[in-house]
Structure 1
Amino acid sequence: MTAVVTQGERADFRPRRARVVGFGFAIGLVVVMVGMSIGLSFAPDSGWQRQDSVFAVVFAVLCAAVLVRLVSVNARVTDEALVVRNVVFTREVEWGAIVAVRFGGADPWLTLDTDDGENLAVMAVQRADGEHARAEALRLARLVEERAGR
């Protein structure tokens, strides 16, 4: 059985609110640290030296990189599988291996039950996104039904 999947149904799953807040905070952090470093380097008797500025900016960029990684979680739909990219690990789960899609209770994000007995968090669908997250959970459940031939 071949399911017809439209481009909208194949769209990647991504969090909304976390991405806006995370990217905004990352940019703001770098801008503030660069501004502080420039301001303190010109302040008389501040004791701020060039290496302090370099360290502050490098630290801000590293923190921003961690934030960007945290909010860059996603789940990509392919013909054969769902590729789930969480904060640390990326896992490809074949459609037929997904037993259930759960999104309820107090769970902060969607969870997939797989045929090997594992539970896989899909951090791309987050409760903080409210109605959008519920719609995305339903979309994923429909995709699993269609793609797994159930």
Structure 2
Amino acid sequence: MTDASTPFRPRLARAVTLAVGALAVVLTILLLLALPELAALDKAGFALLAVLIAGFCWRQADVRAVPDDEGLTVRNLVLQRRLVWADIVSVRFGHGRPWVQLDLADGTTLAVMGIQRSDGAFANREARRLATLVAQHTATSRDD
């Protein structure tokens, strides 16, 4: 059983991107060791490329949504956004969607890359958990 404040994080995408990032660094090191005749500028270029790939992979692996009593902090690949619970109208995870989508009170939507379709049944459970949290934090005493 998960705690209500447990962050939403992908499993498969996280593992794959961390592995790809590590592989890029290891292969670059092996390449640089295998080709000592490369010019210093070429070596620097290969190293920079490996760092950029690893950085991108780290950022992809670090996507998440963190709930607390006041709201939800969504960290996607590029942006991070803080929402109060009242900002969230609904949680959608329809068939064919790669990740959960939030419908917001201002009429916009926000993807939550922390819950990804590639995680199968786990993702469905996490989407239900998020929808439950939204319902619990936005419930009113009136039935309107």
Find out whether 1:100 has 2:95 as its counterpart. Answer: no
TM (norm. structure 2) is: 0.91
Q: Corresponding residue for 1:20?
A: 15
1:9 matched to 2:4? The reply is yes
Is 1:39 the equivalent of 2:34? yes
SS of 1:48's equivalent? Answer: coil
Deviates more, 1:81-90 or 1:130-139: 81-90
What residue in structure 2 maps to residue 124 of structure 1?
Answer: 114
1:51-109 deviation line (CA, Å, top 9, x unaligned): 32222112101111011112211101121110111111111111112111101121110
**Which residue does the alignment assign to 1:65?**
55
How far 1:7 moved relative to its partner? 6.5
Q: How many residues align?
A: 140
* Amino acid paired to 1:129: D
Gaps of 5+ in 1: 1-5, 42-46
Which structure 2 residue ranges, 5 or more long, are not aligned? none
1:90 aligns with 2:90: no
Residue 141 (str. 1) matches residue 131 (str. 2): yes
> Matched residues, percent identical?
39
Moved over 6 A (4+): none
The correspondence for 1:78, drawn from 50, 68, 73, is: 68
Instruction: Give the superposed CA RMSD.
Output: 1.5
Structure number with bigger Rg: 1
Which AA in structure 2 matches 1:145? A
Cα contact 1:95–1:148 (8 A) shared by 2? yes
Corresponding residue for residue 38 of structure 2: 48
